[in-house]
């Protein structure tokens, strides 16, 4: 479990702003599930989804996601991991491979979300992408309510990662604008 609690270049939860928000969100809450719900809803509801708002900034370090209040699903999962790890809750990165037809026709890409270890339930996936018409991710353990139901030719990646995938970080570092990223979404090499 230790690897899902570590600080890193991207999950920089020792940053004072991350520490402050993590403590504020956990204040008065006693269970890991309650803290997870508070952190999840904070990221889902107060951090803009870059694609929905066409923001021309790509964040990929938790403290930057918090500072600029925007990020793609990948960045939002990094911030959620930081807030939860700051509260001592093991948090992993996980991915789905989905159609990206909302942005570009006939393209598949990775979608970033988290798995959180809750003592009462074990590993439980949450998707802080952000809700909108047709997207209703919720925190309802033990039932998962993710942003997207899998469609034909879409699938979950089975592995839990302690760090964001390199292909995700590389895409966010390399492609700085909305238009650049929608034409270069991270995906698995075939």
Query: What does the pLDDT look like over 64-80, one tens digit per residue?
Result: 999 999 999 999 999 99
pLDDT band at 102 (very low <50, low <70, confident <90, very high): confident
C-alpha span between 25 and 99 (Å, rounded): 34
C-alpha span between 24 and 13 (Å, rounded): 14
User: What pLDDT score was predicted for residue 190?
Assistant: 52
C-alpha span between 163 and 143 (Å, rounded): 25
How many Cβ atoms sit within 10 Å of the Cβ of residue 167? 15
Tens digits of residue pLDDT in 110-164 = 999 999 999 999 999 999 999 999 999 999 999 999 999 999 999 999 999 999 9
Tell me which residue of 54, 25, 53, 58 sits closest to 139, measured CA to CA: 25
Quick check: 184 pLDDT over 80? yes
Could you identify the residue written with the tokens 């034909």? 152
∠ CA 27-30-35 to the nearest 5 degrees?
Answer: 65
Three-state DSSP class for 181? helix
Beta strands in 31-153 (DSSP E): 48-49, 70-71, 91-99, 108-118, 122-126, 138-140, 143-145
Q: Which of residues 100 and 114 earns the better pLDDT score?
A: 114
Could you identify the residue written with the tokens 């009462």? 120
Q: Which of residues 2 and 190 earns the better pLDDT score?
A: 2
Q: What are 14's two structure tokens?
A: 């020792």
C-alpha span between 146 and 126 (Å, rounded): 6
Quick check: 82 pLDDT over 60? yes
Quick check: 189 pLDDT over 80? no
How many Cβ atoms sit within 10 Å of the Cβ of residue 20? 12
Domain 2-174 has CATH 3.10.620.30: yes
111, β-bridge pairs:
96
Tell me which residue of 170, 68, 96, 61 sits closest to 184, measured CA to CA: 170
Would you kindly state where each structural domain of the chain is located, as residue ranges? 2-174
Q: What is the pTM of this model?
A: 0.97
Tens digits of residue pLDDT in 109-125 = 999 999 999 999 999 99
């Amino acid at each position: 479990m230790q690897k899902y609690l570590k600080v890193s270049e991207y999950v920089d939860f020792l940053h004072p702003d991350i520490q402050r928000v993590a403590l504020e969100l956990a204040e008065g809450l006693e269970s890991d599930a309650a803290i997870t719900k508070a952190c999840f809803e904070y990221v889902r509801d107060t951090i803009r989804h870059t694609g929905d708002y066409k923001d021309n900034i790509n964040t990929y370090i938790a403290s930057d996601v918090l500072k600029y209040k925007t990020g793609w699903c990948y960045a939002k999962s990094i911030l959620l991991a930081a807030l939860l790890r700051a509260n001592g809750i093991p948090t992993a990165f996980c991915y789905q491979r989905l159609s990206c037809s909302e942005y570009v026709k006939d393209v598949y890409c990775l979608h970033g979300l988290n798995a959180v270890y809750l003592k009462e339930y074990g590993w439980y996936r949450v998707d802080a992408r952000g809700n909108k018409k047709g997207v209703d991710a919720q925190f309802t353990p033990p039932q998962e309510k993710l942003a997207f139901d899998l469609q034909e030719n879409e699938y979950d990646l089975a592995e839990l990662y302690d760090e964001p995938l390199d292909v995700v970080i590389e895409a966010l570092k390399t492609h700085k604008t909305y238009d650049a990223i929608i034409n270069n979404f991270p995906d698995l090499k075939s």
